[in-house]
Amino acid sequence: MSRIGKKSVAVPAGVSASIAGNVLSVKGPKGLLTLSMVPDIAYTVESDAISVMPANDSKTARAYWGMQRTLVSNLVVGVSTGFTKVLEITGVGYRANVQGSNLKLQLGYSHDVNYSIPDGIAIKTPDQTTVEITGADKQQVGQVAAEIRRWRKPEPYKGKGIKYRGEFIFRKEGKKK
């Protein structure tokens, strides 16, 4: 029995939810997000909450129950407040800045890395070593952060590279004489 699935998702003021066909749509100040509904799950939209319950007693319905409730919750939080990931760049000469619709990264390669910012995502660089990624879709924000981080993952000896804020990099000891 899902513990998280039992809780209904509260819909804050300014956010509206509707079901049309096989799609759950949530609209708020940050935009419109949709979710394809799973046939084994029953969705109920009320004025102040969305509840998710299994439609039958099958094993797949119980397996999807908690995950679908979390996906609905992510939609509601995304259109009301949005999601943010912060990347920190460590290394001599490593820097980032936003130029129009591109993120320009200098990461120690012989060339600069230009990352085009996808629609629905906003990237800010408060300083040269910090990249803030914001958007309404949690999956898309995480995917963009992972793609940027992939250009130079943090290495364990000096800690140089791109890491998430709050991420711990396990450090190794170098060679001894």
Give yes or no on whether 3-80 and 83-164 have one common fold. Answer: yes
Q: What is the pLDDT of residue 87?
A: 97
Q: Which CATH architecture has domain 3-80?
A: Alpha-Beta Complex (3.90)
pLDDT value at 6 more than 80? yes
- Which residues are CB-contacts of 75 (< 8 A; sequence separation ≥ 6)? 24, 26, 33, 34, 35
CATH topology of domain 83-164: Outer Surface Protein A; domain 3 (3.90.930)
Average pLDDT over residues 126-141: 96
Coil/strand/helix, residue 161 = strand
Give the confidence band of 5 by pLDDT, cuts at 50, 70, 90: confident
Instruction: For the chain, give the mean pLDDT.
Output: 93
pLDDT in tens, 72-115: 999 999 999 999 999 999 999 999 999 999 999 999 999 999 99
Q: How many CA atoms lie within 13 Å of 157's alpha carbon, on the beta-carbon side?
A: 2
pLDDT value at 1 more than 80? no
pLDDT in tens, 32-68: 999 999 999 999 998 899 999 999 999 999 999 999 9
Coil/strand/helix, residue 165 = coil
